[in-house]
Structure 1
Amino acid sequence: MFNKWKQKLAIIFSMILMLSAMALAPVQAQAANVNISAKAGIAVDAQTGQILYSKNSSKVLPIASMSKMLSIYIILKSIHEGKLKWDQRVHISDNVAKISRNKELTNVVLNAKRTYTVRDLYKASLIYSANAAVIALGVTQAGSSEKFVNEMRSQVKAWGITDAKIYNAAGLTEGEVGTEAYPNTAKSAENEMSAKDVAVVASKLVNDYPEVLKTTKETNAWFAKGTDDAIDMTTHNEMLSGKDYYMKDYNVDGLKTGTSNKAGNCFTGTVNKNGSRIITVVMHANGRNKADDRFANTQTIMKEVYTNFKPIRYKKGAQLKKATSFKVPEGKTTTVKAGISQPTTIWVANKQSKQSIRFTSKQSKKGLTAPVTKNQKIGIATAKVDGKRITYLQSEDAKLQVLAKKSVEKANIFVRMWRSVVSVF
């Protein structure tokens, strides 16, 4: 009899633990019944970083040519800052020319006796994933491959990515880049990041330099046309219009494939459907269809996200439930209404509604110090869905900046004294 009671108590205790764990689990709008062959994957809202699907997304793995997104971010940044020009002529070193002639690698042939524009090399890097082309861009930008890798490392560190391993601009093994290899590295070393890290890089690229999508959606382009080395470059992205894995009603317009022995078949994709853009990453998608499995996996994730979840949009200046006003004890009015500093989106399951979303804000017990000016930053708000927190790529992504909707002048000394007296009673 006693043993039966022990069994019952054990079952009850297990149920309590399970329910507690469920209550503490983050709301991650993970698509139901998603089964992908990739070792790791993730889907995020491109603007906010809200995680919509995740599988081993924190595991650091080789990323192959998806590395080029980071390289191209730095190149575009340099162009925007005026350090590089689109029509600037680029000289090719003998070693980079040698890399470009390696038939085991994806390349456009570069001739050390010719020069190429930054735009030519940029398009070759993105459309055709030309390895020597992106290395040449890095050398032109920084002065050497080593210095460019240092810039790559500094950039990801600035974004809060601490576990990335970066060795070259292209994502090749160090043994494949000859004298462009980073000093004192093994020949087998190659760039590594987690799917979450790659999603951060992709979201920074798309948000900071959206013009990149004009190039990544191109399926064909000529390189060195009119020369002996001319090539009609064809994209490796099979999800673009007219390709094998194109999906009707899904505006897939990028982003970058990656392939190596260690990385397997990888793909970072992005799609804008009904005004809501998401970014997906699949890594080491080596199933029965091998190279094409990365696109089948991406299709599965994209379809499930848009089918099972919906975006709730908030306009700039919108007042948020439970975070609508802030205390201003010494103001002429003792509260000020608040609104968010920029538009945002929160995804919820189809069965949920806007009422499922609740916001909380942090404010010191003393309240705001008067005077308060209109559009002054007065706090941070965070959201929960049905009482559970939402997960984001980075912790800072969860914080919505809140601004004052109007100015509040400081009350005169007599009003402030009267309030102090009244508060005593």
Structure 2
Amino acid sequence: MATGGRTAGMRRRVMALAAGVWVWAGGLLAGWTPPVRAAEAAPAVTAPSAILVDATTGEVLYARNPDQERPMASVTKLMTLYLAVRAVEQGKVKLSEWVPADEEAYRVGGSQVWLEPGEFLSYDQMLKAVAVGSANDAAYALAKFLSGSVEAFVARMNQEAARLGMRHTHFANPHGLPQAEHYTTARDLAILARAAVRSPLLLHYTAMREDRSIRNGKGGHLWLVNHNRLLRVYPGADGLKTGYTTEAGYCLAATARRGDTRLIAVLLGDPTPKARVEDAVRLLNWGYGHFRTLLVAPAGRVLGEVPVRHGRAGRVAAVAARPLALTVPLTAGGRPAPVVRLAERVTAPVQAGQILGEVRVTLDGRTATVPLVAARAVASTSPARLTWDYFWRIIGG
């Protein structure tokens, strides 16, 4: 990619000075969702739509109007970040690459880092601008860089939403400014959040409280401050995204981790930023005060082997395709033994990730089942080798 130098126009200098160089942040995984867990003294929240979910199991612990379609403001950028980070993880983009801004990004408006037309930021800086500064211009520039046009990127956003099972979501832009046919639900955002927290790189950016890596055109640097107050006041919080518009109200997709238990809280339409924080703390405290994630086996744990016929290896390891876990009350005792069911044998070739069986665990009437898949590929042996093996089986009786 081009490695152009940075430009700094009068507009940025004036805006940076006026703002005191503070930029505040604005404002699997399939469609199946476990039932809401009943528990005493469910918390009262101010937000008209809210949900609390165990990120590992997907179990819904609390819900209030979770399927009500509402605008999401800058929480939109969680999908933008998710797709942008996946491009890095898939080797399609390097964090050191330079991303250009154009006239369209310059004119987006709203929260921004005041990109000038023809200016370049590194991909890493663009991610920080979106995750920490909630910059609309950076979100726009990333979208165009990744897909060639913002329209093509928005199509990707909607394709990914459909793949994840976000049945009541439609994106119209990559930043969240008000636009027709741009909406989601608390449940759908929880689905997206569950996908997002699987990425350590994404959490690296969403956990940032502030950033000063972007030059401000005056020889100094912009001071981006994350508007997600949970990062500063709630133990274990490391994301995800805030948002605000007059239409959407104060919105938040939040996550925190304590030990093996990661919770996700989504709030849409809170009346004030204070209410948003209080609602999030109330939901997370209630969740951690009543439940925990019992992790029986992490994803990738070897739980058996299956013989392979006509393969270059005689056996293949069967591993858990995803974490085998249950959401249980804090009072639940014991650790259940997993029940493994595997195919008697498979015939080569075997593909990595091929389903070989399943593992199931049950505790207090709750059951979790996870596929067991091949840990690696096993190629077929050569015809000559097959003939030789057959010959020795015959003469060996």
Q: Same fold (TM over 0.5)?
A: yes
Counterpart in the other structure of 2:251: 266
State the distance in 1 between where 2:273 and 2:281 align.
14
Contact 1:27 1:385 in 2 (8 A): no
In 1: Cα distance, 2:279 partner to 2:319 partner: 39
Q: What CA RMSD, in Å, does the superposition of the two structures yield over aligned residues?
A: 3.4
In the TM superposition, 1:197-212 aligns within 5 A as 197-207=188-198, 209-212=199-202
Deviations 1:147-199 (A, max 9, x none): 1101111111111223211100001123xxxxxxxxxxxxxx15211111111
Distance 1:80 1:234, change over 3 A: same
Match of 2:231 in 1: 240
Q: Structure 1 residue aligned with 2:274, among 281, 287, 292?
A: 292
> Secondary structure of 1:240's partner?
helix
Q: Is the CA contact (8 Å cut-off) linking 2:178 and 2:247 kept in structure 1?
A: no
Inter-CA distance 82–274: structure 2 relative to 1 (3 Å threshold)? closer
1:133 aligned counterpart, secondary structure:
helix
Deviation at 1:82, TM superposition (A): 3.1
Residues 57-66 or 82-91, more deviating: 82-91
CA 1:231–1:378: 2 relative to 1, 3 Å: closer
The alignment status of 1:195 with 2:182, answered yes or no, reads no
Residue from 348, 352, 359 that aligns with 2:328: 348
Q: 2:137: which partner in 1?
A: 132
**Residue 289 (structure 2) aligns with:** 307
Structure number with greater Rg is: 1
- 1:85 Cα deviation (Å)? 2.4
Aligned to 1:416: none
In structure 1, C-alpha distance between the alignment counterparts of 2:289 and 2:48, rounded to whole Å: 23
1:125-164 Cα distance to aligned partner (Å, 9 max, x none): 0001111111110011111110110111111111122321
Report the Cα offset of residue 297 of structure 1: 0.4
Equivalent pair of 2:343/2:357 in contact (CA under 8 Å): no
What is the distance in 2 between the residues matched to 1:121 and 1:30?
Answer: 42
Classify 1:376/1:240 alpha carbon distance in 2 versus 1 (closer, same or farther; 3 Å): closer
Give 3-state SS (helix, strand or coil) of 2:197's partner.
helix
Q: In the alignment, which of 217, 224, 238 is matched to residue 227 of structure 1?
A: 217
Cα gap change, 1:190 to 1:210, in 2 (>3 Å)? farther
> Displacement of 1:253 after TM fit?
1.2
* Structure 2 residues without counterparts, runs of 5 or longer: 1-33, 305-317, 375-397
What secondary structure does 1:76 align onto? helix
Verify: 1:84 aligned to 2:93, yes or no. Answer: yes
Report how far residue 342 of structure 1 moved: 4.8
Q: Is the 8 A contact 1:27 1:388 kept in 2?
A: no
> Which runs of 5 or more residues in structure 1 are unaligned?
1-24, 175-188, 325-337, 390-397, 405-425
What is the DSSP-based 3-state SS (H/G/I as helix, E as strand, rest coil) of the residue aligned with 2:184? strand
DSSP-derived class of the 1:87 partner:
coil
User: Which residue, out of 149, 155, 159, partners 1:154?
Assistant: 159
Deviations 1:252-303 (A, max 9, x none): 11110011122111111111112321111111122xxx12211110100111
Contact 2:355 2:373 in 1 (8 A): yes
Q: 1:368 to 1:48 in 2, by over 3 A?
A: same
**Which residue number in structure 1 is paired with residue 371 of structure 2?**
401
**1:91 deviation in Å?**
2.1
> How far is 1:52 from its partner?
2.1
Kindly indicate whether the alpha-carbon contact (under 8 Å) linking 1:64 and 1:191 is maintained by their aligned counterparts in 2. no
Q: Is the 8 A contact 1:45 1:51 kept in 2?
A: yes
SS in 2 for 1:311: strand
1-side partners of 2:321 and 2:222: how far apart?
A: 48
Contact 1:358 1:385 in 2 (8 A): no
Greater fraction helix: 1
User: TM-score, length-normalised on structure 1?
Assistant: 0.68
Which has the larger displacement, 275-284 or 28-37?
Answer: 28-37
Equivalent in 102, 111, 117 of residue 106 of structure 1: 111
In structure 2, the CA distance between the partners of 1:254 and 1:205, relative to structure 1 (3 Å rule), is same
Residues 1:96 and 2:105 aligned together: yes
Matched, 1:283 2:268: yes
Structure 2 Cα separation of the partners of residues 26 and 155 of structure 1: 24
Aligned to 1:4: none
Contact 1:41 1:55 in 2 (8 A): yes
2 CA distance for matches of 1:368 and 1:267?
45
TM-score by length of 2: 0.72
Deviations 1:326-362 (A, max 9, x none): xxxxxxxxxxxx985554221222343347x79999x
1:46 and 2:55 are equivalent in the alignment: yes
